[in-house]
Structures are given as structure tokens and as C-alpha cells.
């Protein structure tokens, strides 16, 4: 039983360290500390560690930018690149939003509130087809495949009956 108490103290210290790193804009370090806390005790605080890891992961993902300083919104949402459908992007947003700001906990951390704003912005950019196309051009990605059905070539076939 003492070991359980020790692991909880370790998790609390790791989460405090993660929050301290976050407040110093060291997002990657905050994410790493939260991941270690998750490994130490995944059930700590009724899912609190999972929420912290998710929020800090979003902030760490904002560090990956293109040469113009734009954030990689696909990385923020944790979806594969540009071929993902709008439905999958919205589904991922809903799952992340529920995890970061669950209904069980009304006392959201500052990191969670900002993470929710970040993923909301990602969805704004990636779900609207025009803004998504502009985003792809700025990142140098190829245009999305056309959603319209491709037309198959039509062959005129002449059926003849041959009398023998």
C-alpha cells in the first residue's frame, strides 16, 4: 500500500513539473513529464493524467511549423495528412475535445482551455474546403483528389448479327 501512495506522490510531482514547464512555454518538456506520469499511474485522479497528456500533446504539436511559421493542423489533431475526410477530422476533434475538457471536471486547467481553442482552430481550417485548399497551397501539399466520381470512358459498341 505504501508503494501506491509513493506512485501517487510521484505522479503529483510530475504533473506539477509538467504545469511548470508549460507555463514557461516548454511544451515538449511538459508533454514528456505528463507522459511519464501516465506511465507511473494511469488511473490517477479519475483520468486527470490522460487529460493532461492530451492537452500538452496539442501544445507540443504546435511546435511543428512550416517556413512561414504556420502550425501543422493535421499534427495538432493527430490525423494522417491531407487525405483524411472532413468526417474523420470532426470525429477526432470530438474525441479530443471530450478528453481534454470532460464533463466530469469543470475546473479546466489553463493548458486544457488553450488546447481546446487550438483544436477548434484546426477544425475551422481543415473542415472548410476553401480554407483547407489555401492551407495546402501554403504548405506545398498537392491538391486533394476530386470528390466527384470519375467518369469512365464510354465506348460505343456496335452489335451485329451475322447470318451464316
| DSSP track, 28-72 | HHHHHHHHHHHHH-TTGGGGHHHHHHHHHHHHHHTT-B-TT--B-
71 strand-pairing partners:
65
The gap from C-alpha 71 to its chain's centroid, in whole angstroms, comes to 12
Question: So what's the pLDDT on residue 5?
Answer: 58
Question: So what's the pLDDT on residue 64?
Answer: 87
What's this model's pTM, rounded to 2 decimal places? 0.78
Question: So what's the pLDDT on residue 14?
Answer: 93
118-156 pLDDT, tens digit per residue, is 999 999 999 998 998 888 888 887 766 654 333 333 333
Q: HSE-up of 91 (CA within 13 Å, CB side)?
A: 6
88-111 pLDDT, tens digit per residue, is 999 999 999 999 987 655 556 889
Q: Domain 2-139: give its CATH code.
A: 1.25.40
- pLDDT band at 76, cuts 50/70/90? very high
Query: How many residues appear in the chain?
Result: 164
Place of cell 504548405: 139
Q: Mean per-residue pLDDT for 50-69?
A: 90
- pLDDT band at 160, cuts 50/70/90? very low
Contact in structure between 75 and 64 (CB atoms under 8 Å) = yes
Weakest-pLDDT range from 71-75, 82-86, 142-146: 142-146
Question: So what's the pLDDT on residue 107?
Answer: 57
Cα separation, 75 vs 67, whole angstroms: 16
Contact in structure between 47 and 102 (CB atoms under 8 Å) = yes
Q: Mean per-residue pLDDT for 55-77?
A: 90
Question: So what's the pLDDT on residue 144?
Answer: 61
Radius of gyration (C-alpha) of the chain in whole angstroms = 24
Question: So what's the pLDDT on residue 124?
Answer: 94
Amino acid at each position: 500500500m505504501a508503494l501506491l501512495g509513493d506512485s501517487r506522490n510521484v505522479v503529483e510531482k510530475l504533473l506539477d513539473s509538467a504545469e511548470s514547464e508549460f507555463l514557461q512555454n516548454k511544451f515538449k518538456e511538459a508533454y514528456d513529464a505528463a507522459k511519464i506520469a501516465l506511465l507511473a499511474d494511469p488511473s490517477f485522479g479519475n483520468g486527470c493524467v490522460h487529460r493532461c497528456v492530451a492537452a500538452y500533446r496539442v501544445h507540443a504539436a504546435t511546435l511543428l511549423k512550416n517556413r512561414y511559421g504556420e502550425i501543422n493542423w493535421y499534427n495538432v489533431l493527430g490525423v494522417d495528412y491531407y487525405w483524411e475526410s472532413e468526417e474523420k477530422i470532426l470525429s477526432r476533434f470530438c474525441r479530443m475535445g471530450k478528453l481534454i475538457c470532460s464533463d466530469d471536471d469543470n475546473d479546466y486547467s489553463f493548458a486544457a482551455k488553450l488546447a481546446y481553442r487550438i483544436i477548434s482552430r484546426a477544425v475551422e481550417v481543415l473542415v472548410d474546403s476553401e480554407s483547407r485548399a489555401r492551407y495546402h497551397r501554403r504548405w506545398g501539399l498537392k491538391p486533394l483528389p476530386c470528390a466527384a466520381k470519375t467518369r469512365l470512358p464510354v465506348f460505343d459498341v456496335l452489335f451485329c448479327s451475322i447470318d451464316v
